[in-house]
Amino acid sequence: MNETGRQVALVTGTSSGMGLHAAVELAGRGLSVVATMRDVSRSDRLDAAAAEAGVQLDVRALDVTDHEAARACVDGVLADHGRIDVLINNAGRGAVGTAEQLGLDEIRDQLEVNYLGPVALTKLVLPTMRAAGSGRVLTVTSVGGAVGQPFADAYCGAKFAVEGFMQSLSTVMLAHGVWVSVIEPAAVASDFVSNVARPAGGAPADAYAVQLEAYLARSAGAFAAAQPARDAGVAIAEAATADEYRFRWQTSDGATAFVGMSLADLDGSRVLGTTRTWIETQA
Protein backbone atom coordinates (compact mmCIF):
# COMPACT_ATOMS: atom_id res chain seq x y z
CA MET A 1 0.00 0.00 0.00
CA ASN A 2 0.98 3.62 -0.42
CA GLU A 3 1.89 4.74 3.06
CA THR A 4 3.21 8.11 1.97
CA GLY A 5 -0.19 9.50 0.99
CA ARG A 6 1.39 10.70 -2.21
CA GLN A 7 -0.56 10.68 -5.44
CA VAL A 8 0.45 7.94 -7.86
CA ALA A 9 1.00 8.58 -11.57
CA LEU A 10 1.33 5.90 -14.25
CA VAL A 11 3.15 7.12 -17.36
CA THR A 12 3.61 5.14 -20.60
CA GLY A 13 6.46 5.37 -23.09
CA THR A 14 9.13 6.77 -20.76
CA SER A 15 12.28 5.41 -22.42
CA SER A 16 12.72 8.68 -24.33
CA GLY A 17 11.21 11.99 -25.28
CA MET A 18 8.47 13.88 -23.52
CA GLY A 19 7.22 10.85 -21.55
CA LEU A 20 10.63 10.53 -19.93
CA HIS A 21 10.63 14.20 -18.93
CA ALA A 22 6.99 14.17 -17.83
CA ALA A 23 7.75 11.23 -15.51
CA VAL A 24 10.75 12.99 -13.94
CA GLU A 25 8.86 16.29 -13.64
CA LEU A 26 5.87 14.65 -11.95
CA ALA A 27 8.19 12.96 -9.45
CA GLY A 28 9.81 16.35 -8.83
CA ARG A 29 6.34 17.68 -8.03
CA GLY A 30 5.96 15.06 -5.30
CA LEU A 31 4.00 12.32 -7.01
CA SER A 32 4.98 8.64 -6.84
CA VAL A 33 5.64 7.86 -10.49
CA VAL A 34 5.41 4.47 -12.15
CA ALA A 35 7.36 4.97 -15.35
CA THR A 36 6.65 2.28 -17.92
CA MET A 37 8.44 1.33 -21.12
CA ARG A 38 8.47 -1.60 -23.49
CA ASP A 39 11.99 -2.70 -22.62
CA VAL A 40 13.23 -1.84 -19.14
CA SER A 41 16.81 -2.58 -20.17
CA ARG A 42 16.55 0.71 -22.10
CA SER A 43 15.95 2.81 -18.99
CA ASP A 44 19.42 4.39 -19.05
CA ARG A 45 18.29 7.85 -20.19
CA LEU A 46 15.38 7.87 -17.76
CA ASP A 47 17.64 6.72 -14.92
CA ALA A 48 20.14 9.47 -15.72
CA ALA A 49 17.44 12.17 -15.87
CA ALA A 50 15.93 10.95 -12.59
CA ALA A 51 19.34 10.94 -10.89
CA GLU A 52 20.05 14.45 -12.17
CA ALA A 53 16.71 15.65 -10.81
CA GLY A 54 17.23 13.79 -7.53
CA VAL A 55 14.02 11.78 -7.80
CA GLN A 56 13.18 8.09 -7.66
CA LEU A 57 10.91 6.30 -10.09
CA ASP A 58 9.27 2.89 -10.11
CA VAL A 59 10.24 1.62 -13.59
CA ARG A 60 8.09 -1.18 -14.99
CA ALA A 61 7.69 -2.96 -18.32
CA LEU A 62 4.64 -2.21 -20.45
CA ASP A 63 3.92 -2.49 -24.16
CA VAL A 64 0.62 -0.62 -24.47
CA THR A 65 -0.48 -2.83 -27.37
CA ASP A 66 -0.39 -5.89 -25.07
CA HIS A 67 -3.71 -5.61 -23.26
CA GLU A 68 -3.10 -8.56 -20.91
CA ALA A 69 0.20 -6.97 -19.88
CA ALA A 70 -1.62 -3.67 -19.35
CA ARG A 71 -4.11 -5.35 -17.02
CA ALA A 72 -1.29 -7.05 -15.08
CA CYS A 73 0.58 -3.74 -14.87
CA VAL A 74 -2.41 -1.81 -13.51
CA ASP A 75 -3.19 -4.62 -11.04
CA GLY A 76 0.45 -4.64 -9.93
CA VAL A 77 0.56 -0.88 -9.41
CA LEU A 78 -2.67 -0.97 -7.41
CA ALA A 79 -1.33 -3.87 -5.30
CA ASP A 80 2.00 -2.15 -4.62
CA HIS A 81 0.96 1.51 -4.42
CA GLY A 82 -2.69 1.20 -3.43
CA ARG A 83 -3.96 3.82 -5.87
CA ILE A 84 -3.61 5.39 -9.31
CA ASP A 85 -4.45 9.09 -9.41
CA VAL A 86 -2.98 10.06 -12.76
CA LEU A 87 -2.64 8.15 -16.03
CA ILE A 88 -0.50 9.71 -18.73
CA ASN A 89 -1.08 7.91 -22.04
CA ASN A 90 2.09 9.13 -23.71
CA ALA A 91 3.40 6.14 -25.68
CA GLY A 92 2.93 6.61 -29.40
CA ARG A 93 4.54 6.32 -32.79
CA GLY A 94 4.20 8.04 -36.14
CA ALA A 95 3.92 6.64 -39.66
CA VAL A 96 4.76 8.43 -42.89
CA GLY A 97 2.68 7.59 -45.94
CA THR A 98 -0.41 8.46 -47.90
CA ALA A 99 -3.28 6.00 -48.22
CA GLU A 100 -2.05 4.06 -51.25
CA GLN A 101 1.37 3.61 -49.68
CA LEU A 102 0.09 2.24 -46.39
CA GLY A 103 -0.75 -1.41 -45.91
CA LEU A 104 -3.75 -2.19 -43.74
CA ASP A 105 -1.34 -3.77 -41.27
CA GLU A 106 0.50 -0.46 -40.92
CA ILE A 107 -2.78 1.40 -40.44
CA ARG A 108 -3.83 -1.19 -37.85
CA ASP A 109 -0.49 -0.81 -36.04
CA GLN A 110 -1.11 2.93 -35.78
CA LEU A 111 -4.51 2.28 -34.24
CA GLU A 112 -3.06 -0.28 -31.83
CA VAL A 113 -0.43 2.03 -30.35
CA ASN A 114 -2.06 5.46 -30.67
CA TYR A 115 -5.73 4.56 -30.12
CA LEU A 116 -6.43 1.12 -28.61
CA GLY A 117 -3.45 1.26 -26.22
CA PRO A 118 -4.61 4.46 -24.50
CA VAL A 119 -8.25 3.38 -24.64
CA ALA A 120 -7.52 0.01 -22.99
CA LEU A 121 -5.39 1.55 -20.23
CA THR A 122 -8.02 4.19 -19.59
CA LYS A 123 -10.67 1.51 -19.18
CA LEU A 124 -8.39 -0.27 -16.70
CA VAL A 125 -7.85 2.75 -14.43
CA LEU A 126 -11.38 4.16 -14.52
CA PRO A 127 -12.87 1.78 -11.92
CA THR A 128 -10.39 2.83 -9.22
CA MET A 129 -10.63 6.52 -10.14
CA ARG A 130 -14.42 6.45 -10.21
CA ALA A 131 -14.50 4.70 -6.83
CA ALA A 132 -12.13 7.35 -5.43
CA GLY A 133 -14.24 10.13 -6.94
CA SER A 134 -11.11 11.67 -8.42
CA GLY A 135 -8.39 11.05 -10.98
CA ARG A 136 -6.85 12.38 -14.15
CA VAL A 137 -6.42 10.69 -17.49
CA LEU A 138 -4.29 12.65 -19.93
CA THR A 139 -3.56 11.38 -23.41
CA VAL A 140 -0.74 12.85 -25.44
CA THR A 141 -2.29 13.17 -28.87
CA SER A 142 -0.81 15.72 -31.29
CA VAL A 143 -1.68 18.78 -33.28
CA GLY A 144 -2.26 15.93 -35.74
CA GLY A 145 -5.23 14.96 -33.58
CA ALA A 146 -6.98 18.11 -34.78
CA VAL A 147 -5.31 18.92 -38.10
CA GLY A 148 -4.99 16.21 -40.75
CA GLN A 149 -1.64 16.45 -42.50
CA PRO A 150 -0.22 15.09 -45.75
CA PHE A 151 1.50 11.71 -45.53
CA ALA A 152 0.18 11.32 -41.98
CA ASP A 153 -3.13 9.63 -42.86
CA ALA A 154 -2.78 6.66 -40.51
CA TYR A 155 -1.16 8.62 -37.68
CA CYS A 156 -3.60 11.54 -37.74
CA GLY A 157 -6.50 9.11 -38.19
CA ALA A 158 -5.48 7.30 -34.99
CA LYS A 159 -4.87 10.56 -33.08
CA PHE A 160 -8.25 11.99 -34.22
CA ALA A 161 -9.83 8.71 -33.08
CA VAL A 162 -8.34 8.86 -29.60
CA GLU A 163 -9.33 12.53 -29.25
CA GLY A 164 -12.90 11.59 -30.18
CA PHE A 165 -12.96 8.77 -27.63
CA MET A 166 -11.52 10.94 -24.86
CA GLN A 167 -13.75 13.94 -25.59
CA SER A 168 -16.83 11.73 -25.53
CA LEU A 169 -15.70 10.17 -22.25
CA SER A 170 -14.70 13.45 -20.63
CA THR A 171 -18.18 14.81 -20.01
CA VAL A 172 -19.45 11.69 -18.28
CA MET A 173 -16.33 11.24 -16.14
CA LEU A 174 -16.31 14.87 -15.05
CA ALA A 175 -19.49 14.16 -13.10
CA HIS A 176 -17.54 11.39 -11.29
CA GLY A 177 -14.63 13.67 -10.43
CA VAL A 178 -12.31 12.21 -13.10
CA TRP A 179 -10.68 14.71 -15.45
CA VAL A 180 -10.11 13.33 -18.94
CA SER A 181 -7.93 15.50 -21.18
CA VAL A 182 -5.81 15.47 -24.32
CA ILE A 183 -2.46 17.18 -24.83
CA GLU A 184 -1.50 18.32 -28.30
CA PRO A 185 2.21 18.94 -28.95
CA ALA A 186 3.52 20.28 -32.26
CA ALA A 187 7.05 19.31 -33.35
CA VAL A 188 9.07 18.17 -30.33
CA ALA A 189 12.75 17.17 -30.37
CA SER A 190 12.67 13.51 -29.30
CA ASP A 191 13.17 10.07 -30.83
CA PHE A 192 9.84 10.51 -32.61
CA VAL A 193 11.28 11.11 -36.10
CA SER A 194 13.72 8.19 -35.91
CA ASN A 195 10.93 5.92 -34.60
CA VAL A 196 8.46 6.81 -37.38
CA ALA A 197 7.27 3.82 -39.45
CA ARG A 198 8.03 4.19 -43.17
CA PRO A 199 5.77 2.67 -45.81
CA ALA A 200 7.10 -0.48 -47.44
CA GLY A 201 5.61 0.69 -50.73
CA GLY A 202 2.64 -0.45 -52.75
CA ALA A 203 1.89 2.71 -54.68
CA PRO A 204 3.12 3.23 -58.24
CA ALA A 205 6.84 3.81 -57.70
CA ASP A 206 7.08 7.57 -58.16
CA ALA A 207 3.44 8.68 -58.07
CA TYR A 208 3.90 10.55 -54.81
CA ALA A 209 7.67 11.05 -54.83
CA VAL A 210 7.66 14.80 -55.50
CA GLN A 211 4.95 15.52 -52.93
CA LEU A 212 6.67 13.31 -50.34
CA GLU A 213 9.99 15.07 -50.92
CA ALA A 214 8.33 18.45 -50.41
CA TYR A 215 6.59 17.20 -47.26
CA LEU A 216 9.78 15.76 -45.79
CA ALA A 217 11.63 19.02 -46.49
CA ARG A 218 8.87 21.00 -44.76
CA SER A 219 8.93 18.57 -41.83
CA ALA A 220 12.70 18.88 -41.50
CA GLY A 221 12.23 22.64 -41.19
CA ALA A 222 9.57 22.23 -38.52
CA PHE A 223 11.72 19.81 -36.52
CA ALA A 224 14.75 22.10 -36.80
CA ALA A 225 12.77 24.53 -34.62
CA ALA A 226 11.19 21.82 -32.46
CA GLN A 227 10.17 22.33 -28.84
CA PRO A 228 12.69 20.66 -26.48
CA ALA A 229 11.33 17.39 -25.09
CA ARG A 230 11.94 18.58 -21.55
CA ASP A 231 9.70 21.64 -22.11
CA ALA A 232 6.96 19.45 -23.53
CA GLY A 233 7.34 17.04 -20.60
CA VAL A 234 7.00 19.93 -18.14
CA ALA A 235 3.87 21.10 -19.99
CA ILE A 236 2.40 17.62 -19.64
CA ALA A 237 3.18 17.57 -15.91
CA GLU A 238 1.63 21.03 -15.54
CA ALA A 239 -1.54 19.87 -17.25
CA ALA A 240 -1.61 16.76 -15.04
CA THR A 241 -1.33 18.82 -11.84
CA ALA A 242 -3.37 21.89 -12.87
CA ASP A 243 -5.96 23.20 -10.41
CA GLU A 244 -8.56 23.80 -13.09
CA TYR A 245 -9.98 21.34 -15.56
CA ARG A 246 -9.81 21.70 -19.28
CA PHE A 247 -10.22 19.03 -21.89
CA ARG A 248 -7.70 20.27 -24.42
CA TRP A 249 -4.12 21.37 -23.77
CA GLN A 250 -1.29 22.24 -26.10
CA THR A 251 2.38 22.11 -25.07
CA SER A 252 3.46 25.36 -26.79
CA ASP A 253 2.10 28.56 -28.26
CA GLY A 254 3.05 27.22 -31.69
CA ALA A 255 0.92 24.14 -31.10
CA THR A 256 -2.03 26.32 -29.99
CA ALA A 257 -1.72 28.44 -33.14
CA PHE A 258 -1.52 25.35 -35.33
CA VAL A 259 -4.52 23.62 -33.75
CA GLY A 260 -6.35 26.94 -34.03
CA MET A 261 -6.36 26.55 -37.82
CA SER A 262 -8.80 23.72 -37.40
CA LEU A 263 -10.51 24.28 -34.05
CA ALA A 264 -12.45 27.14 -32.52
CA ASP A 265 -12.65 25.35 -29.18
CA LEU A 266 -8.99 25.44 -28.20
CA ASP A 267 -9.40 24.40 -24.58
CA GLY A 268 -12.50 22.24 -25.09
CA SER A 269 -14.73 24.41 -22.90
CA ARG A 270 -17.32 25.17 -25.58
CA VAL A 271 -18.03 21.53 -26.38
CA LEU A 272 -17.98 20.64 -22.68
CA GLY A 273 -20.38 23.48 -21.88
CA THR A 274 -22.86 22.06 -24.37
CA THR A 275 -22.49 18.32 -23.83
CA ARG A 276 -22.54 18.58 -20.03
CA THR A 277 -26.11 19.81 -20.20
CA TRP A 278 -27.12 16.64 -22.04
CA ILE A 279 -26.47 14.46 -19.00
CA GLU A 280 -27.43 16.80 -16.18
CA THR A 281 -29.96 15.26 -13.86
CA GLN A 282 -32.80 17.33 -12.46
CA ALA A 283 -32.38 17.99 -8.76
Ligand X SMILES: NC(=O)c1ccc[n+]([C@@H]2O[C@H](COP(=O)([O-])OP(=O)(O)OC[C@H]3O[C@@H](n4cnc5c(N)ncnc54)[C@H](OP(=O)(O)O)[C@@H]3O)[C@@H](O)[C@H]2O)c1
Rounded CA-CA distance 237/79 in Å is: 24
46 or 126: CB nearest ligand X:
46
- Cβ nearer to ligand X, comparing 57 with 171: 57
13 lines the binding site for ligand X (CB under 6 A): yes
Q: Which one of the spans 75-83, 87-95, 162-170, 268-276 is the region binding ligand X (CB under 6 A)?
A: 87-95
Select from 157, 185, 199, 268 the one that contacts ligand X (CB under 6 A). 185
The residue among 33, 43, 37 whose CA lies nearest residue 92 is 37
Rg (C-alpha) for the chain, rounded Å, is 19
For ligand X, the closer CB: 178 or 183? 183
Asked about 115 being catalytic, the answer comes back as no
CB-nearer residue toward ligand X: 178 or 187: 187
Stretch that binds ligand X, among 86-94, 102-110, 146-154, 202-210 (CB under 6 A): 86-94
Beta strands in the chain (DSSP E): 8-11, 32-37, 58-61, 86-89, 135-140, 178-184, 188-189, 227-228, 248-250
Q: How near is the Cβ of 231 to ligand X at its closest, in Å?
A: 12
**Residue 113 binds to ligand X (criterion: CB under 6 A):** yes
Binding of residue 250 to ligand X (CB under 6 A): no
The reply on whether position 15 binds ligand X by CB under 6 A is yes
In sequence order, what are the residues at sequence separation of 6 or more whose Cβ sits closer than 8 angstroms to the Cβ of residue 33? 8, 9, 11, 23, 24, 26, 27, 55, 57, 58
Q: What is the DSSP letter of 112?
A: I
Contact pick of 91, 96, 166, 271 for ligand X (by CB under 6 A): 91
Question: Active-site residue among 115, 155, 215, 245?
Answer: 155
d(CA 130, CA 9): 16
Among 8, 10, 11, 17, binds ligand X (CB under 6 A): 17
CA distance 69 to 73: 6
Give the N- to C-terminal CA distance of the chain in Å, as an integer.
38
- The residues binding ligand X (CB under 6 A) are 12-13, 15-19, 37-39, 42, 62-65, 90-93, 113, 140, 142, 185, 187-188, 190-192, 195, 229
Which residues are designated catalytic? Answer: 155
